[in-house]
Structure 1
Amino acid sequence: MSASTPPTIDPGVNSGSIQAGTGATPPVATVASYPTTPGRFPREAMVCARRQIIKMFRLPELMAFNLLQPLLFILLFAYVFAGAIGGGAEGRDDYREFMMAGFFAQCILFATVSSSATNIAQDMHKGMMDRFRSLPMTRGAVLTGRTIADFVQNVMMLLMMIVMALIVGWRIHEGFLKALAGFGVILFLAYSFSWVGAAIGTMVRTPEAAAGVVVILFPLTMLSNALVPPSTLPRVLQHVVNWNPYSATVQSARELFGNEAPASDSWPMQNATLASLGWSVLIILVFRTIAVRRYRGVSR
């Protein structure tokens, strides 16, 4: 090449990049700019949700076990413990109606937190989250898609439990629309706790550790009005029960179903639906923030 010959420009790279060997700066890789549009986040979240839902249906045995467990609990309490807890054969039917709202919420919460935490921990452990982080997508879309998939699973589980509850004698007494609102309150609380599972899944090191997170739900569900009236507990525990977000949801569902709801002079129990919705929104705001920040920062 003579001194007057201009350096060759490679059309496949940036216009300011000169071919190697000419003494100029080598080409620099540039990252394309992806505009942020209002509809981008929902689309990405739904794509991630679709991935999880397809994965769920490709493992029918796992889904079957998740659906079978709450059905067994309903049968166990309806026919084995209902007479003893309800005060004899006369109180068995009354206790079935009393317990059912608590069982709906309890079984869904346990399945949601465990599933969300375990699946996210598996993706983190296998490097799937690192691949997602390398893609030009909204950071919260992956976790949001996971929680949407959990919501779909919760709806399926709740439908199965409703059928079983009707078989064992549970009934609604306030009409279809109010009952639908009661189920909505339960599902909204379950969705909020899917963010608790998401936050835990980004914190633990292994999927095995994530599988044990349901232990933290036992105090929440046992210190509540789900299985026994709060008036049977010590006075100090009654305050804990009344301000438990799980108790507010169960109380709201009972009122909307027309089932027996224990009387209480505390504000959350007198305004159970409002308290339940408020608790659910607060849980989503707190744990979604934690989960997304952990997702951004892990493995950097």
Structure 2
Amino acid sequence: MVLRGLTHYVRQPSNIAWQLGFPLVSVLLFGYVFGSAMSVPGGGDYREFLMPGMFGMTMAMGFMNTAYVVVYDSSRGVTDRFRSMPMSPSAVVTGRGVGDLIGASLDLVVLGLTALAIGWRSSGGVLDTLTAFGLLLLLRFALIWIGVLLGLLVPNEEAAGSLFAVAFPFAMISSAFVAPSLMPDWLGTIAMWNPVSATVTASRELFGNPAAVGDTWIEQHALLMSVVWPVVLTAIFLPLAVRRYQRLSR
């Protein structure tokens, strides 16, 4: 199942370009068009503040692509064919998850090279830098199972396309682009407790970039929550996704 997913990446490279198109355009917009008007609480270069947020946003919005691919297979009878084969029901779900995680790693490589090209640097050590990228992939790993579950729940590709309305605010109402302290109190509180914010803030600290950390508990313990949130999400949605797939065969 993993090999099947990777083969689709090789034979349909336009999908990778589509997935990376929005983050790359966002880098240009926020880094160069709006960047001069943006400020970082506590000081610091906005582009250094921005890039970990772009990494986090790309990982957060990836579950939408996962959901679409699952719906695509289901609507064309591929899922029914898998159900008729002598294979574990969990293999379809976990195979999709592992394949998407490998694809997410490639996304991070391209974004990382883009960040280096515009002058972003990690001033943390090698271990801290690798840990930061590991936390970003951990977030993506947890959100993949939400995408798989949604893909098994929505009825068709048109409905899957509308999931952008869910993914966009989930990624944007966070500390990815603006520090929560600059938002209205009620919106800032939502942004602080967004799992994306924990991962983005922790990665900024590990990269040695401006983090604009407030004095709230959730912000002070971003590194801890960047692990807790993905573990909790995976523990909830991975079993639900497998159970949903098993019910399709009844």
Normalized against structure 1, the TM-score is what? 0.78
1:70 corresponds to: 23
Give runs of aligned pairs for residues 1-300 of structure 1, distance below 5 A. Answer: 48-86=1-39, 94-110=45-61, 112-298=62-248, 300=250
C-alpha distance 299-210 of structure 1, shift in aligned 2 (>3 A): farther
Deviation at 1:231, TM superposition (A): 1.4
Deviation of 1:217 after TM superposition, in Å, equals: 2.1
Aligned-pair distance for 1:65? 2.5
1:92: Cα distance to partner? 11
Q: Output one character per residue of 1:106-137: Cα deviation in whole Å (capped at 9) or x when no partner.
A: 02322x21221011111111121122122222
State whether residues 117 and 201 of structure 1, in contact with CA within 8 Å, keep that contact through their aligned partners in structure 2.
yes
The higher-RCO structure (CA 8 Å, 6+ apart) is: 2
**Which letter does structure 1 place at the counterpart of 2:234?**
I
* Backbone CA RMSD of aligned residues: 1.9
Measured in 2, the distance between the counterparts of 1:59 and 1:235 equals 44
Contact 2:83 2:89 (8 Å CA) reproduced: yes
Report the more deviating stretch, 204-213 or 59-68: 59-68
Over alpha carbons, which structure has the higher Rg? Answer: 1
**CA shift at 1:278, angstroms?**
0.7
1:57/1:63 contact within 8 Å kept = no
Structure that is richer in helix per residue? 2
Aligned partners of 1:113 and 1:214 also within 8 Å: no
Q: What is the distance in 2 between the residues matched to 1:187 and 1:128?
A: 28
Q: Equivalent pairs: percent with the same residue?
A: 40
Deviation at 1:93, TM superposition (A): 7.3
Alpha carbons of structure 1 residues 233 and 224: separation in structure 2 relative to 1, 3 Å = same
Counterparts of 1:93 and 1:170, CA distance in 2: 12
Alpha-carbon displacement from aligned partner over 1:171-210 (angstroms, at most 9, x marks no partner): 1111221011101101110111111110000001112211
Given that residues 83 and 92 in structure 1 are in contact (C-alpha distance below 8 angstroms), is that contact kept between their aligned partners in structure 2? Answer: no
Amino acid at match of 1:77: F
Q: Secondary structure at the match of 2:155?
A: coil
Moved more, 55-64 or 152-161: 55-64
CA distance in 1 between partners of 2:218 and 2:87 (Å): 40
Conservation of the 8 A alpha-carbon contact between 2:3 and 2:99 = yes
CA distance in 2, matches of 1:115, 1:156: 15
Q: How many residues align?
A: 249
Give the Cα–Cα distance (whole angstroms) in 1 for the partners of residues 66 and 187 of structure 2. 30
CA contact (8 A) 2:149 2:240 kept: yes
SS of the residue aligned with 2:22?
helix
Distance between the aligned counterparts of 1:69 and 1:236, measured in 2? 28
> Is the 1:117–1:199 Cα contact (8 Å) retained in structure 2?
yes
The equivalent of 1:22 in structure 2 is none
CA deviations 1:9-50 (Å, max 9, x no partner) are xxxxxxxxxxxxxxxxxxxxxxxxxxxxxxxxxxxxxxx011
Distance 1:142 1:104 in 2: 27
Question: Structure 1 residue 263: deviation in Å?
Answer: 2.5
Shifted more, 63-72 versus 224-233: the winner is 63-72
